[in-house]
């Protein structure tokens, strides 16, 4: 067994991207949420859209950016639901630009640079408000089961793309990376973007345990003081029963930073393990500290 700790937390790591692509991601994510709710409870869709608009408006701290600086209508024209919602589209534009802390000059550039923290802020806070808007509409007790079903549909929609990538790898004669190889790739990415502080235990080639002591997802959401919905709109995606249903590597967590002092993640290749025992939280807490 190999254990190594990484102090990779750096919220100021620069992230480069194109503004229109980042906006399109936010538009697409919101359009999907509306579509998934329509599948489950179509009668709620119009009121849900209003609730999302209200939540995003209240979260925007600055309206100084001119929405006409980019062609929003063109960005959403292929989105089934958002193309019919120009007001929500414009609010989303302001929300994303506000959380990225962009000015008029930045938007005019083909490629911009923002901190890793702000980049994650725009993404994770949008997910949070998409979920919390449902709670505003129905209350937590009724909203949470519906939200979990929406997450399940989101995973369903992602399945085709994942399976296409696997098929492409097979056609090229490439193998899906095992757990050891996968975590090595992840460590490189997490370190590059300053994701957090974590300890990795490579138990063998096909089973890996991770402990996160700090993570940017938790950091950008903890200020909302709403750990339940922060979890449901971020990390629950990986805990949903649908998540492991088609993946050759499974993930299991028993707690996250939203509700505990660390996050424990066990990954295993299903070809070699069926249902491995999760190390105790006490064991994981001490990992790399002895």
Beta bridge partners of 198: 6, 212
pLDDT of residue 108: 63
Residue 10 has what pLDDT? 98
**CB-based contacts of 39, cutoff 8 Å, min separation 6:** 153
Q: What's the pLDDT at 65?
A: 72
| Residue pair 129/52 in contact by the 8 Å Cβ criterion | yes
Write down the pLDDT at residue 209: 98
- Please give the pLDDT value at position 109: 61
Please give the pLDDT value at position 71.
86
d(CA 261, CA 212): 9
What pairs with residue 4 in β-bridges?
A: 200
Q: What are phi and psi of 64, to 5 degrees?
A: -80, -15
From CA 77, how far away is CA 50, in angstroms rounded? 20
Structure tokens at 272: 């070699």
Q: Is 105 in a helix, a strand, or coil?
A: helix
pLDDT value, residue 106: 65
pLDDT of residue 136: 97
**Taking the chain (290 residues) in consecutive chunks of 10 residues, what is each chunk's mean pLDDT?**
95 91 95 98 97 96 70 93 95 92 70 92 97 98 98 96 92 94 97 97 97 98 98 98 95 97 98 96 92
φ, ψ of residue 210 to 5 degrees: the values are -125, 140
């Amino acid at each position: 067994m190999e254990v190594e700790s990484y102090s990779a937390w750096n919220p100021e790591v620069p992230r480069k991207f194109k503004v229109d692509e980042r906006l399109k991601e936010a538009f697409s994510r919101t359009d999907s949420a509306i579509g998934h709710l329509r599948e489950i409870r179509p009668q709620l869709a119009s009121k849900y859209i209003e609730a999302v608009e209200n939540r995003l408006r209240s979260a925007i701290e600055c309206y100084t950016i001119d929405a006409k600086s980019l062609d929003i209508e063109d960005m959403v024209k292929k989105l089934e639901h958002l193309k019919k919602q120009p007001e929500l589209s414009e609010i989303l534009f302001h929300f994303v630009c506000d959380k990225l802390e962009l000015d008029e000059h930045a938007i005019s550039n083909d490629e911009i640079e923002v901190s890793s923290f702000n980049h994650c802020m725009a993404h994770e806070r949008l997910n949070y408000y998409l979920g919390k808007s449902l709670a505003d509409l129905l209350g937590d007790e009724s909203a949470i089961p519906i939200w979990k079903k929406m997450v399940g549909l989101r995973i369903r929609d992602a399945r085709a793309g994942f399976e296409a990538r696997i098929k492409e790898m097979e056609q090229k004669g490439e193998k899906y990376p095992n757990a050891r190889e996968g975590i090595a790739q992840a460590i490189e990415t997490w370190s590059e973007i300053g994701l957090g502080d974590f300890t990795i235990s490579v138990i063998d080639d096909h089973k890996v345990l991770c402990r996160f002591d700090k993570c940017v997802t938790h950091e950008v959401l903890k200020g909302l003081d709403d750990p339940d919905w922060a979890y449901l709109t971020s990390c629950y995606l990986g805990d949903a029963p649908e998540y492991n249903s088609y993946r050759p590597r499974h993930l299991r967590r028993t707690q996250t930073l939203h509700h505990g002092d660390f996050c424990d993640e066990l990954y295993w290749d299903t070809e070699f393990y069926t249902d491995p025992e999760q190390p105790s939280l006490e064991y994981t807490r001490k990992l790399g500290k002895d």
